[in-house]
Amino acid sequence: MKIEAVSVGTPRVVRWRGKEVATSIFKAPVDGPVAVRRLNLDGDRQADPGVHGGEYKAIYAYAAEDAEWWSAALGRPLEPANFGENLSVRGLAEEPIHVGDVFCAGSAVLEATEPRLPCYKLGIRFGDPRMVETFATARRWGIYFRVVKEGELQEGDVLERIHRDSEAIPVYDIARVYVFDRGDAAAMQRLSAHPRLDPSWKEHFVDRLASRAAGTGS
């Protein structure tokens, strides 16, 4: 897997559907080495840390092939980092990547944590509120990483897996169970028991399982 672009951005206020909204989904590629910090890349900052960013969503990577798929599906070229991704990666296949898999890029070490879920800011970036549902249906999520070791990375670096998590739970499964297969209790049990899972996701799946057991939820 090869990093084709490294993109960063800071919050800006845009008007969307009659309201002013702060968003950092508008990012632009940068040249040369970029410092990888515990919570983000240098020059990058999240507008809403409660939803985006934080330890388990420090860096967002998206497959270059998926961006090309979208360009064909939408019938127009995409702008750089159109999904708000920090890393555009050639060869990033989501389904074989597991929660807890560890990668090196440049001198930084990253751990795969979770998928990106569709939110209304995708509608802002694409100028189409339907993009939220379209993104969900396409199941081309992209992957968030936490920073295991700070360092530097840049365009042209290889993103190399150096550790495969023994539980072998695909990152993809989080979004699959959350959005589509809501009755997959076995997957929720495996996810909630995973020691490397984002605590907020662990809490979510534990609560869903409890609701199912009580007969009050799907």
The full set of domain ranges for the chain reads 2-169
Q: What pLDDT shows up at residue 140?
A: 95
For 121-172, what is the HEC assignment? HHHHHHCCCCHHHHHHHHCCCCEEEEEEECEEECCCCEEEEEECCCCCCECH
12-16, 109-113, 151-155, 213-217: which has the minimum mean pLDDT?
Answer: 213-217
Q: Is the pLDDT higher at 118 or at 33? A: 33
With cut-offs at 50, 70 and 90, classify the pLDDT of residue 170.
very high
For residue 183, count other CB atoms closer than 10 A to its CB: 12
- What is the pTM (predicted TM-score) of this model? 0.94
Q: Which two tokens stand for residue 22?
A: 């702060």
Q: What mean pLDDT comes out for the span 111-137? A: 94
**Class of the domain covering 2-169:** mainly beta
Q: What pLDDT shows up at residue 47?
A: 79
